[in-house]
Amino acid sequence: MLEDITGHETVDRLPILASGNNVDQLLAVPKLASGTGESIASAVFETLLQWDFLSKARGMSFDTTSSNPGRLNGACTLLEQKLNRELLWLACRHHILEIMLEALVLKSLGPSSGPDILLFVRFRKAWPSLNKEGFKVADDPILQKIGSRNVELVLSFAEKQLDVFQPRDDYKELLTLVIMFLGGIPKNGINFMAPAGLHRARWMAKGVYAIKVYMFRGEFKMTKKEEVAITELCMFVVSIYVYHWFQAPSVALLLGMI
Protein backbone atom coordinates (compact mmCIF):
# COMPACT_ATOMS: atom_id res chain seq x y z
CA MET A 1 0.00 0.00 0.00
CA LEU A 2 1.66 3.22 -1.20
CA GLU A 3 0.65 6.83 -1.62
CA ASP A 4 -0.31 7.52 -5.21
CA ILE A 5 2.10 9.41 -7.46
CA THR A 6 -0.49 12.15 -7.85
CA GLY A 7 -2.56 13.26 -4.89
CA HIS A 8 -2.53 11.67 -1.46
CA GLU A 9 -4.69 8.62 -2.06
CA THR A 10 -3.25 5.31 -0.84
CA VAL A 11 -3.21 2.67 -3.56
CA ASP A 12 -2.36 -1.02 -3.75
CA ARG A 13 0.70 -1.73 -5.90
CA LEU A 14 2.17 -5.06 -6.95
CA PRO A 15 5.92 -5.50 -7.56
CA ILE A 16 6.45 -7.91 -10.46
CA LEU A 17 9.91 -9.35 -10.99
CA ALA A 18 11.47 -11.88 -13.33
CA SER A 19 14.59 -13.95 -12.80
CA GLY A 20 16.65 -16.25 -14.98
CA ASN A 21 20.07 -16.62 -16.59
CA ASN A 22 21.67 -15.05 -13.51
CA VAL A 23 19.56 -11.91 -13.91
CA ASP A 24 16.86 -10.44 -11.65
CA GLN A 25 14.74 -7.76 -13.27
CA LEU A 26 12.01 -5.57 -11.80
CA LEU A 27 9.40 -5.46 -14.56
CA ALA A 28 6.77 -3.15 -13.11
CA VAL A 29 4.97 -2.00 -9.99
CA PRO A 30 1.43 -1.54 -11.33
CA LYS A 31 -1.47 -0.04 -9.42
CA LEU A 32 -4.17 -2.59 -8.64
CA ALA A 33 -7.86 -1.80 -8.83
CA SER A 34 -8.33 -4.29 -5.98
CA GLY A 35 -6.41 -7.01 -4.18
CA THR A 36 -8.35 -9.84 -5.85
CA GLY A 37 -6.76 -12.74 -7.69
CA GLU A 38 -8.22 -11.48 -10.98
CA SER A 39 -6.69 -8.04 -10.54
CA ILE A 40 -3.28 -9.51 -9.67
CA ALA A 41 -3.33 -12.05 -12.52
CA SER A 42 -4.33 -9.38 -15.06
CA ALA A 43 -1.54 -7.07 -13.89
CA VAL A 44 1.06 -9.83 -14.21
CA PHE A 45 -0.26 -10.96 -17.60
CA GLU A 46 -0.22 -7.43 -19.03
CA THR A 47 3.30 -6.88 -17.71
CA LEU A 48 4.55 -10.12 -19.26
CA LEU A 49 2.89 -9.10 -22.52
CA GLN A 50 4.62 -5.71 -22.52
CA TRP A 51 8.01 -7.32 -21.94
CA ASP A 52 7.36 -10.07 -24.49
CA PHE A 53 7.75 -12.68 -21.75
CA LEU A 54 4.48 -14.58 -22.23
CA SER A 55 6.16 -17.58 -23.85
CA LYS A 56 9.19 -17.47 -21.56
CA ALA A 57 7.55 -17.59 -18.13
CA ARG A 58 8.11 -20.99 -16.54
CA GLY A 59 7.11 -20.60 -12.91
CA MET A 60 5.59 -18.36 -10.27
CA SER A 61 6.90 -17.54 -6.83
CA PHE A 62 4.32 -16.09 -4.44
CA ASP A 63 3.20 -15.75 -0.85
CA THR A 64 0.37 -17.88 0.48
CA THR A 65 -2.21 -15.12 0.90
CA SER A 66 -5.49 -16.58 -0.37
CA SER A 67 -5.60 -14.15 -3.31
CA ASN A 68 -2.57 -15.90 -4.81
CA PRO A 69 -2.92 -19.72 -4.57
CA GLY A 70 -6.72 -19.95 -4.35
CA ARG A 71 -7.92 -23.00 -6.28
CA LEU A 72 -10.68 -21.18 -8.20
CA ASN A 73 -10.05 -17.44 -8.03
CA GLY A 74 -6.41 -17.25 -7.00
CA ALA A 75 -3.97 -15.18 -9.07
CA CYS A 76 -1.83 -18.23 -9.88
CA THR A 77 -4.76 -20.25 -11.21
CA LEU A 78 -6.11 -17.32 -13.24
CA LEU A 79 -2.68 -16.47 -14.67
CA GLU A 80 -2.31 -20.04 -15.92
CA GLN A 81 -5.73 -19.72 -17.58
CA LYS A 82 -4.69 -16.47 -19.27
CA LEU A 83 -1.46 -18.10 -20.50
CA ASN A 84 -3.38 -21.24 -21.46
CA ARG A 85 -0.71 -23.48 -19.92
CA GLU A 86 0.58 -24.64 -16.56
CA LEU A 87 3.45 -23.03 -14.65
CA LEU A 88 5.64 -24.32 -11.84
CA TRP A 89 4.30 -23.12 -8.47
CA LEU A 90 6.99 -22.00 -6.01
CA ALA A 91 5.23 -20.88 -2.84
CA CYS A 92 7.33 -18.76 -0.45
CA ARG A 93 8.85 -21.12 2.11
CA HIS A 94 8.55 -18.48 4.82
CA HIS A 95 4.80 -18.25 4.25
CA ILE A 96 4.51 -22.05 4.26
CA LEU A 97 6.27 -22.20 7.62
CA GLU A 98 3.92 -19.52 8.93
CA ILE A 99 0.94 -21.66 7.94
CA MET A 100 2.48 -24.65 9.72
CA LEU A 101 3.08 -22.60 12.88
CA GLU A 102 -0.47 -21.23 12.79
CA ALA A 103 -1.84 -24.76 12.40
CA LEU A 104 0.07 -25.94 15.46
CA VAL A 105 -1.07 -22.91 17.48
CA LEU A 106 -4.67 -23.71 16.51
CA LYS A 107 -4.27 -27.37 17.47
CA SER A 108 -2.51 -26.61 20.76
CA LEU A 109 -4.29 -23.49 22.01
CA GLY A 110 -7.59 -23.85 20.20
CA PRO A 111 -9.35 -21.36 17.90
CA SER A 112 -9.31 -17.65 18.64
CA SER A 113 -12.27 -15.33 18.16
CA GLY A 114 -10.04 -12.54 16.79
CA PRO A 115 -6.53 -11.79 15.56
CA ASP A 116 -5.13 -11.96 19.10
CA ILE A 117 -4.43 -15.12 21.08
CA LEU A 118 -5.89 -14.72 24.57
CA LEU A 119 -3.02 -16.47 26.36
CA PHE A 120 -0.50 -14.18 24.69
CA VAL A 121 -2.63 -11.11 25.44
CA ARG A 122 -2.66 -12.08 29.13
CA PHE A 123 1.09 -12.55 29.06
CA ARG A 124 1.64 -9.17 27.43
CA LYS A 125 -0.47 -7.46 30.09
CA ALA A 126 1.35 -9.30 32.88
CA TRP A 127 4.82 -8.58 31.48
CA PRO A 128 5.53 -5.31 33.42
CA SER A 129 4.97 -7.09 36.75
CA LEU A 130 7.04 -10.20 35.98
CA ASN A 131 10.44 -10.70 37.61
CA LYS A 132 12.73 -10.62 34.58
CA GLU A 133 15.34 -12.63 36.48
CA GLY A 134 12.83 -15.35 37.29
CA PHE A 135 13.02 -17.09 33.92
CA LYS A 136 13.66 -20.83 33.58
CA VAL A 137 15.29 -22.67 30.69
CA ALA A 138 13.95 -25.90 29.20
CA ASP A 139 13.40 -28.73 31.68
CA ASP A 140 15.56 -31.83 31.35
CA PRO A 141 12.65 -33.98 30.00
CA ILE A 142 12.21 -31.45 27.19
CA LEU A 143 15.92 -31.44 26.38
CA GLN A 144 15.91 -35.25 26.41
CA LYS A 145 13.05 -35.31 23.90
CA ILE A 146 14.95 -32.93 21.63
CA GLY A 147 18.11 -35.01 22.07
CA SER A 148 21.54 -33.87 23.22
CA ARG A 149 22.93 -34.01 19.69
CA ASN A 150 20.08 -31.89 18.31
CA VAL A 151 20.44 -29.41 21.18
CA GLU A 152 24.09 -28.90 20.25
CA LEU A 153 23.23 -28.53 16.56
CA VAL A 154 20.45 -26.00 17.18
CA LEU A 155 22.59 -23.98 19.59
CA SER A 156 25.45 -23.85 17.10
CA PHE A 157 23.10 -22.96 14.26
CA ALA A 158 21.39 -20.14 16.19
CA GLU A 159 24.71 -18.68 17.30
CA LYS A 160 26.05 -18.70 13.74
CA GLN A 161 22.88 -17.07 12.42
CA LEU A 162 23.28 -14.22 14.90
CA ASP A 163 26.70 -13.56 13.36
CA VAL A 164 24.99 -13.24 9.97
CA PHE A 165 23.21 -10.00 9.07
CA GLN A 166 19.55 -10.24 10.11
CA PRO A 167 17.32 -7.51 8.63
CA ARG A 168 14.78 -7.48 11.46
CA ASP A 169 14.86 -7.39 15.24
CA ASP A 170 12.32 -10.21 15.60
CA TYR A 171 14.65 -12.51 13.63
CA LYS A 172 17.41 -11.75 16.13
CA GLU A 173 15.02 -12.07 19.03
CA LEU A 174 13.88 -15.56 18.05
CA LEU A 175 17.47 -16.76 17.68
CA THR A 176 18.40 -15.26 21.04
CA LEU A 177 15.39 -16.86 22.75
CA VAL A 178 16.18 -20.27 21.26
CA ILE A 179 19.71 -20.08 22.66
CA MET A 180 18.44 -19.12 26.10
CA PHE A 181 15.67 -21.74 25.99
CA LEU A 182 18.30 -24.44 25.44
CA GLY A 183 20.39 -23.17 28.33
CA GLY A 184 22.93 -21.20 26.32
CA ILE A 185 24.03 -17.61 26.79
CA PRO A 186 23.92 -15.27 23.76
CA LYS A 187 27.03 -13.19 23.02
CA ASN A 188 25.21 -10.04 24.09
CA GLY A 189 24.09 -11.63 27.33
CA ILE A 190 20.67 -12.47 28.75
CA ASN A 191 18.09 -9.92 27.71
CA PHE A 192 14.34 -10.01 27.10
CA MET A 193 12.43 -7.62 24.87
CA ALA A 194 8.91 -6.62 25.90
CA PRO A 195 6.18 -8.63 24.10
CA ALA A 196 5.15 -6.88 20.88
CA GLY A 197 2.27 -7.18 18.41
CA LEU A 198 0.95 -10.38 16.89
CA HIS A 199 0.10 -9.06 13.43
CA ARG A 200 1.03 -11.13 10.39
CA ALA A 201 3.86 -8.78 9.41
CA ARG A 202 5.80 -10.24 12.35
CA TRP A 203 6.46 -13.64 10.88
CA MET A 204 7.55 -15.54 13.94
CA ALA A 205 5.64 -13.63 16.63
CA LYS A 206 3.80 -16.74 17.85
CA GLY A 207 7.07 -18.62 18.24
CA VAL A 208 8.65 -15.69 20.10
CA TYR A 209 5.65 -15.49 22.43
CA ALA A 210 5.61 -19.24 23.07
CA ILE A 211 9.23 -19.37 24.19
CA LYS A 212 8.84 -16.31 26.42
CA VAL A 213 5.72 -17.69 28.06
CA TYR A 214 7.47 -21.01 28.67
CA MET A 215 10.58 -19.40 30.16
CA PHE A 216 8.47 -17.34 32.56
CA ARG A 217 6.16 -20.20 33.48
CA GLY A 218 7.16 -19.78 37.12
CA GLU A 219 6.09 -16.13 37.11
CA PHE A 220 3.07 -16.29 34.81
CA LYS A 221 0.03 -18.36 35.80
CA MET A 222 -1.25 -20.88 33.26
CA THR A 223 -3.60 -23.85 33.32
CA LYS A 224 -2.11 -27.31 32.91
CA LYS A 225 -3.57 -27.48 29.41
CA GLU A 226 -1.92 -24.17 28.49
CA GLU A 227 1.43 -25.35 29.84
CA VAL A 228 1.25 -28.49 27.69
CA ALA A 229 0.28 -26.42 24.62
CA ILE A 230 3.12 -23.93 25.14
CA THR A 231 5.61 -26.78 25.59
CA GLU A 232 4.44 -28.35 22.31
CA LEU A 233 4.87 -25.03 20.51
CA CYS A 234 8.36 -24.54 21.90
CA MET A 235 9.37 -28.06 20.86
CA PHE A 236 8.23 -27.35 17.29
CA VAL A 237 9.91 -23.93 17.12
CA VAL A 238 13.23 -25.13 18.51
CA SER A 239 13.38 -28.56 16.83
CA ILE A 240 12.00 -27.70 13.37
CA TYR A 241 10.86 -24.15 12.76
CA VAL A 242 13.97 -22.09 13.52
CA TYR A 243 16.31 -24.13 11.32
CA HIS A 244 14.02 -24.29 8.31
CA TRP A 245 12.99 -20.64 8.64
CA PHE A 246 16.52 -19.29 8.46
CA GLN A 247 17.47 -21.72 5.68
CA ALA A 248 14.45 -20.83 3.53
CA PRO A 249 15.20 -18.66 0.49
CA SER A 250 13.58 -15.25 0.26
CA VAL A 251 11.32 -14.63 -2.73
CA ALA A 252 9.32 -11.81 -4.25
CA LEU A 253 5.55 -11.55 -4.07
CA LEU A 254 4.99 -12.85 -7.59
CA LEU A 255 8.04 -13.81 -9.64
CA GLY A 256 8.14 -15.06 -13.21
CA MET A 257 11.09 -17.34 -13.86
CA ILE A 258 12.40 -16.73 -17.34
Which sequence spans correspond to the domains of the chain?
2-91, 94-247
Question: What confidence score (pLDDT) does residue 4 get?
Answer: 67
Question: What confidence score (pLDDT) does residue 254 get?
Answer: 39
pTM for the model stands at 0.75
Question: What confidence score (pLDDT) does residue 96 get?
Answer: 82
Question: What confidence score (pLDDT) does residue 222 get?
Answer: 95
Question: What confidence score (pLDDT) does residue 115 get?
Answer: 65
Ranges of residues in the chain whose predicted pLDDT is under 70? 1-8, 113-115, 199-203, 249-258
CB atoms within 10 A of CB 3: 10
- Alpha-carbon distance of 21 to 253, in angstroms, equals 20
Question: What confidence score (pLDDT) does residue 9 get?
Answer: 75
Q: Measure Cα distances from 249 to 107, 147, 245 in Å.
A: 27, 27, 9
